[in-house]
Amino acid sequence: MADVRHAFVTGFPIKHSRSPLIHNYWLQYYGLQGSYKAIENSPEQFPYFIKTLGEKGLRGGNVTLPHKEAAFALCVKYDEAAKAIGAVNTLWLDDKNILNGSNTDAYGFAANLDAQIAGWDQAKTALVLGAGGASRAILYALLMRGFEKIIIVNRTEQRAKALADHFGSRITAAGWNQAQNLIRVADIIINTTSLGMSGHGDMQAFPLDFSEAKTGTIATDIVYIPLETPFLRQAREAGLRCSDGLGMLLHQAVPGFEHWFGIRPDVTEELRNIILDDILKA
Ligand code: ATR
């Protein structure tokens, strides 16, 4: 009998997740039997759900908000990225039925820029806006790609300082009042704040001016709804090289699919358009 595998994405809430669209596209594209479904779990339900994956016939899956830290605590084995970031977004049961965890957000961030802006990691100075959970994955990716100087700017400077302490000497922290000046020295600017994210209040203008950025500076946002955030629109209008957040979503899904279904899938233009259509319909 064919080896039919089943995977999931869980979060709370989960109904807006695009992950089922991505993984079911690949299942069909590669002609594989199997399934990938969204399953909602409250924080109270989450540990039991994870501990009984094998009994439910689930090989593994994705974990999203608010469960990424809880998933990290439940995994028996995890990779370097998960350890450094302190959160798991991808997990799977191995041959011995041991729960493994990974964080593929850093991979997704870097792989998307590899695909969109060749040589992006030859830059030296990165400016990271925001110091929440998403910022941790970006910092890890930048460190892995050899950035010499990474400056985190955050409204609550203390959170930026805590991240700088955690990730080491190549990282410095600054308050939001220094952001405008730091734009002049940055080779790449990454927005990890929720400013401009759909559903987080109406924002017409991002509170920074990019016109003094160096020639060739890159701007990227991790938010993909809207696809062009106010941050990206202003950066594009100021002549920066821009990459939107949808690519990171698509690329972070690649290692999980490979763990569960045994094929390393391609991020195709067709897949991007399918997800884009779905976002525009919403
Ligand atoms: P996540 O884990 O998804 O990154 P988070 O922990 O809520 O989410 O972090 C959101 C980020 O957006 C934080 O850096 C937050 O700044 P604070 O640490 O000061 O809260 C930032 N953010 C949210 N609203 C903001 C605003 N109006 N101005 C500046 N930064 C804002």
- Closest ligand 1 atom number to CA of residue 129: 14
Count up the domains in the chain and report the number. 2
Ligand 1 neighbourhood includes 234 CB (under 6 angstroms): no
Q: What is the pLDDT of residues 32-51, one digit of tens each?
A: 999 999 999 999 999 999 99
DSSP 184-210: TT-SEEEE-SSTT-TTS---SS-S---
What's the pLDDT score for residue 3? 79
**pLDDT tens digits, 54-97:** 999 999 999 999 999 999 999 999 999 999 999 999 999 999 99
Residue 130 near ligand 1, beta carbon < 6 Å: yes
Strands 99-102 and 77-78 turn out to be parallel
Q: What domain range is 60 assigned to?
A: 5-104+253-281
Name the band, by pLDDT with cuts 50, 70 and 90, for residue 126: very high
Give the distance (Å) from ligand 1 centre to CA of residue 207.
14
How many angstroms separate the alpha carbon of residue 156 from the centre of ligand 1? 8
pLDDT, position 168: 92
Closest residue to atom 30 of ligand 1, CA basis:
155
Report residue 113 as tokens.
């820029």
Residue predicted with more confidence, 153 or 2? 153
CATH number, domain with residue 117? 3.40.50.720
Q: Please give the pLDDT value at position 109.
A: 98
Say if residue 153 is in the same domain as residue 193. Answer: yes
User: What CATH number should be reported for the domain holding residue 72?
Assistant: 3.40.50.10860
Residue 21 and residue 281: Cα distance in Å, rounded?
14
Q: Does 279 have pLDDT greater than 60?
A: yes
* pLDDT score at 123: 87
Atom of ligand 1 nearest to the CA of 201: 27
pLDDT value of residue 2: 59
Instruction: Please tell me whether residues 110 and 98 are part of one structural domain.
Output: no
94 Cα–ligand 1 center, Å: 36
Mean pLDDT of the chain: 95
CA 60–ligand 1 middle distance (angstroms): 30
User: Hey, which residues are catalytic here?
Assistant: 68
d(CA 26, CA 268): 10
Check if 159 has its Cβ closer than 6 Å to any atom of ligand 1: yes
- 224 and 159 co-located in one domain: yes
| pLDDT score, position 236 | 98
User: Three-state SS for 57?
Assistant: coil
* Residue 158 binned pLDDT confidence (cut-offs 50, 70, 90): very high
Q: Is ligand 1 within 6 A of the CB of residue 154?
A: yes
**Residues 176 and 87 occupy one common structural domain:** no
Q: What's the confidence (pLDDT) of residue 215?
A: 96
Q: Quick one: pLDDT at residue 198?
A: 82
Same-domain pairing of 145 and 212 = yes
For residues 219 and 123, membership in a common domain is answered with yes
Mean pLDDT confidence for 166-188: 96
At 203, the pLDDT band (50, 70, 90 cuts) reads confident
**CA 198 to ligand 1 centroid distance, Å:** 14
The whole-angstrom separation of Cα 81 and Cα 257 is 17
Which pTM does this prediction carry? Answer: 0.96
In this structure, the answer to whether residues 115 and 229 fall within a common structural domain is: yes
Question: Same domain for 210 and 221?
Answer: yes
Model pLDDT for residues 214-257, shown as the tens digit of each residue: 999 999 999 999 999 999 999 999 999 999 999 999 999 999 99
Q: Do 77 and 111 reside in the same domain of the chain?
A: no
Whose C-alpha lies nearest to ligand 1, atom 22?
193
Asked if residue 239 and residue 121 are part of one domain, the reply reads: yes
Q: Give me the residue label for tokens 């195709």.
A: 268
Judge if the upstream peptide bond of residue 230 is cis by omega within 30 degrees of 0: no
Mean pLDDT, residues 87-110: 97
- Answer yes or no: is the C-beta of 132 below 6 A from any ligand 1 atom: yes
195 in contact with ligand 1, CB cutoff 6 A: yes
Q: Whose CA is nearest to atom 14 of ligand 1?
A: 130
Specify whether 126 is located in the same domain as 240: yes
112 and 98 belong to one structural domain: no
